[in-house]
Structure 1
Amino acid sequence: MPAFADILPTLPAIDHITALTLHNAAGEQVALIETKPGSSGSVRLYHALWLQHGCINHAAAQQGLALYAEHTADALAFPGKHPNIDRLLAIGPNDALSVQLVLA
């Protein structure tokens, strides 16, 4: 299984994005993920999921967990250590988060 560091360069570039926001069904912002050290990989992954699925739904979340590779196992072992993975773990079959890009 490829490592997250090997998967990341295969995802679409995010040079035009400074952050993305996630919103629940009521339209409330539930997360802000900024393009900065420590979270830019998550912005790239969430952006790729959004491009493919149009939102972060259960299917997108399952794909994202596979793409996070070894970090998903670490998130399962240490809840709270990886909030962007924890968020995907919490998305159920009837859940979906909309995505808004903050452009550079």
Structure 2
Amino acid sequence: MGFPAPFVGSRPIGAPPGRDDILPGHFFTNRRFVVSAWQLTPEEVAVINHNAGKIFVAVGTGEAFFPTLVGSSESVRMMLIDYGGTFPSQPVEVMA
């Protein structure tokens, strides 16, 4: 499973009190969308590549399905421009 990852323009957020099953994370919001970044392990990337690039997303909302976008920093960043602000371009990083 991916781990929450900091990114340029994000703010830290702690897990709710008493929820040791939730990792603290980082997020950006323009008050219409909340963006988070997730770091996958090399093994997870290998499985995703083996499954034709499919990424599965679980959003813990209960019964409703809210608009969800999964993409690169640039594709998400560019989509947010139309919805009230976005986060800065991200530096190039190399997977270790």
Q: TM-score, normalised by structure 2?
A: 0.27
Identify the structure with the greater helix proportion: 1
The structure with more radius of gyration: 2
Identify the structure with the greater strand proportion: 1
Q: TM-score, normalised by structure 1?
A: 0.26
Q: Answer 1 or 2: higher relative contact order, Cα 8 Å, separation at least 6.
A: 1
